[in-house]
Amino acid sequence: MVRELASGLKLDTQEGRASLLKQAKPLLEKITAPLLGSLIQRQIAELAHVPANELTQMGVKPSIARREPPRPVRRPAPSRLRSLARVMLLNPQRVAEVDQAWLDANDPLFEHLTDLMTWLHGIGSTSLPSLAEAARGSTLESLVNELMTDLLDKDDSWDWNAEFDGAVKQLHDDWRRRRKQELALRPLSSLNASERQELTDLARS
């Protein structure tokens, strides 16, 4: 590439070297690879008998590739079901108070929580160490361990029953809001009598 630029030029004259630099400038501006551009720039400097840094000052330098700004990392949305899941471990018997239909299918913990509820319902009342041992080797082991880790910072004054009640109420309220919106968006002609009555009740509450 450099030889082609230099062919036909008298590089032992000032005019020939100036012509080389003039032809090299647009070529270097098209090169975005830093290593290749630096190498060609150095070769041209040697042929033109000038230091490479002087070429840069004269504007004869490779183009600097534009770096795309880093894309923001999307963090997973926090789960609103997590607080409910962890207090379930403290009293598996209360799992029966939660209707799985209330769970938000878009919540990142949805699938794991349905499995956890089914598992806890079959186990019944037991201690946290016993639950950890029972979950060992199962698909729920990592989730159970994570939820138990969440409980480590709770002291004796923490009212887990109150937190469970609050989480269930929030869960039910969210479901009613989603259900109301779902029914309201449908044409009335597509609703059966039961769904129309349900929509009326939800609108009044």
Domains of the chain (ranges; CATH) run 2-57 (1.20.50), 83-204 (1.10.860)
pLDDT digits (tens, 9 = 90+) for 32-46: 656 666 777 777 777
pLDDT digits (tens, 9 = 90+) for 58-99: 555 555 545 556 666 555 556 889 989 989 998 888 999 999
Q: By three-state DSSP, how is residue 30 classified? A: helix
Among 74, 85, 77, 91, smallest CA distance to 146 is for 85
**Which residues have a Cβ under 8 Å from the Cβ of 19 and sit 6 or more positions away?**
9
Token pair of 134 as six digits: 């029972």
The verdict on pTM exceeding 0.75 is: no
Residue 202 has pLDDT above 60, yes or no: yes
150 phi and psi angles, rounded to 5 deg: -60, -25
pLDDT digits (tens, 9 = 90+) for 138-150: 999 999 998 988 8
CA–CA dist 60, 117 (Å, integer): 69
CB 92 within 8 A of CB 123: yes
**Which residues have a Cβ under 8 Å from the Cβ of 77 and sit 6 or more positions away?**
108
* DSSP for residue 188: G
* DSSP for residue 7: T
* Proportion of the chain above pLDDT 90, given as a percent: 28
